[in-house]
Chains A and B, each alone.
Chain A
Amino acid sequence: MRTGHLINVLAEDAAARPSFEQHFVRMLACGIAVAAVTFLLLVGFRHDILTAVHSPRFLFKFVVTLALAVTASAVARRAGDPSGNIYGWITAVAFVPVLLAAAVALELVAVPSGEWMQRLIGHDAWRCVVLIPFLSAGPLSCLLLALRQGAPMRPGFAGAMAGLGASGIAATFYAANCTDDSPLFIAAWFSLAILIVTATGYLAGRRLLAW
């Protein structure tokens, strides 16, 4: 086929389409909606939610998980743009573990050392490690689908950031169910669950996001 003929074909496929950015935002909203519905139908709020909202430890969980969801999703979006600059948002993502480490330090000061282990192990760590990846499935699928419309220079990295953003969304919902509020618990078990989802995103990205 002559290149001029190929151009004929491409020009006929010129209908206006949503930009990658619009598409990404839509798919992000879709992922959040899927996680919300799954949460409300199958997981639900913890029973003492009305008293828990007065606890700074309970509220701090959302600070960490929301910060992760927002910053990692922003990096994922920019990772899908071949000329996009991700470094500002990467710094913001790196700030999330710093925030958590500071909370852990405060907790170690505030709580006598005899209680550390009990707070670290919590009530139901496995539930956390299972439910966060479970709730991530919807948002991760949506973000990966969105990135397939993009042109990520590093598919594995883009997939990992989609996993990080999706697990941030999932962890935000799960935090409203989980009765363990200590930063020690968050640092151990939420992190493990988030790591699992991020690794899944990395592997999926390498397979699905090449273009």
Chain B
Amino acid sequence: MLREEEWADLMRAGMAGDAIAYRQFLISVTPHLRAVAHSYKRSFRAGESDVEDVVQEVLLTVHLKRGTWDASRPIGPWLTAIVRNKLIDTLRRRGRHVHVPIEDVTATLAAEEHCGGLKAFEIDGLLSQLKPRQRDIVQSISLDGSSIRDTANRLRMTEGAVRVTLHRALKTLAALYRAGAP
């Protein structure tokens, strides 16, 4: 419960434009997304990186759909709904028809934390399908850890243009996840 309140505070700050709080929210919520994905590992084709593929897709979805969270309500049920829906979607796409009971997701969200910066491979294939400029920006920020400003300077774009391109790239990435059966 306390953790949910902390998430809600971080997300609220993040939605008001506080990037540091938002980043902290993503870092803090990831182990729980991973725990949920792990609990359904048997439904995937085995392998840790498959689980991490799902974690990354769910993270991207939480990011793109955060505007649907009503900040006056608790964040737990919203997160559960997003994660459950995405898990059903991604499991179905991976060729298994699986029923994900809502209680399981809630229970696992409260489960033990895992940590570590795990690697996934599906996203690399999807990145290669982005437009070159979108890919450059995503890679610049992800690998080199550059900020929007550094990336703008390096690519000789305005910061605004980098922001818009980055946001479009993420939306395209989400669509590629949906379209691509691995």
A14 at the interface (CB under 8 A from B): yes
Does B124 contact A15, Cβ atoms closer than 8 Å? Answer: no
Q: Give CA–CA (A17, B163) in the complex, Å.
A: 12
Contact with B along A13-53 (1 / 0, CB 8 A): 11111111101000000000000000000000000000000
Does A1 contact B67, Cβ atoms closer than 8 Å? Answer: no
Chain B nearest CB: distance from A69 CB in Å?
23
Q: Which residues of B contact A23 (CB under 8 A)?
A: 67
Does A9 contact B142, Cβ atoms closer than 8 Å? Answer: yes
B145 at the interface (CB under 8 A from A): yes
Partner of B67, one of A14, A18, A211: A18
Q: Give CA–CA (A17, B19) in the complex, Å.
A: 12
Does B52 contact A3, Cβ atoms closer than 8 Å? Answer: yes
Number of interface residues of A (CB under 8 A): 33
Known contacts A11-B22, A82-B78; A6 and B56 CB within 8 A of each other: yes
Q: Which residues of B contact A7 (CB under 8 A)?
A: 23, 26-27, 30, 59
Does A11 contact B68, Cβ atoms closer than 8 Å? Answer: no
The DSSP consensus for interface residues of chain B is helix
Does A10 contact B127, Cβ atoms closer than 8 Å? Answer: no
Does A211 contact B141, Cβ atoms closer than 8 Å? Answer: no
Known contacts A8-B141, A14-B23; A20 and B73 CB within 8 A of each other: no
Does A15 contact B17, Cβ atoms closer than 8 Å? Answer: yes
A115 at the interface (CB under 8 A from B): no
Partner of B85, one of A17, A19, A82, A149: A82
Known contacts A1-B124, A12-B147, A150-B68; A6 and B78 CB within 8 A of each other: no
Q: Give CA–CA (A82, B66) in the complex, Å.
A: 11
Does A20 contact B82, Cβ atoms closer than 8 Å? Answer: no
B70 at the interface (CB under 8 A from A): yes
Does A82 contact B82, Cβ atoms closer than 8 Å? Answer: yes
Instruction: Using CB atoms, name the residue of chain B closest to A5.
Output: B142
Contact with A along B135-166 (1 / 0, CB 8 A): 00010011101011000000000000001001
Does A14 contact B138, Cβ atoms closer than 8 Å? Answer: no
Stretch from B1-9, B38-46, B103-111, B115-123 contacting the other chain = B115-123
Instruction: Using CB atoms, name the residue of chain A closest to B34.
Output: A3
Q: Which residues of A contact B73 (CB under 8 A)?
A: 83
B15 at the interface (CB under 8 A from A): yes
Residues of A with Cβ closer than 8 Å to B? 1-21, 23, 80-84, 149-151, 153, 210-211
Residues of B with Cβ closer than 8 Å to A? 14-19, 22-23, 26-27, 30, 52, 55-56, 59-61, 63-65, 67-71, 73, 77-78, 80-82, 85, 89, 117-120, 123-124, 127, 138, 141-143, 145, 147-148, 163, 166-167, 170, 174, 178
Question: Can you identify 24 A-B contacts, CB atoms within 8 angstroms?
Answer: A1-B123, A3-B118, A3-B120, A5-B117, A6-B56, A7-B26, A8-B142, A10-B23, A12-B166, A14-B14, A15-B163, A16-B17, A17-B15, A80-B68, A82-B82, A82-B85, A83-B80, A83-B81, A150-B65, A151-B65, A153-B85, A210-B89, A211-B65, A211-B174
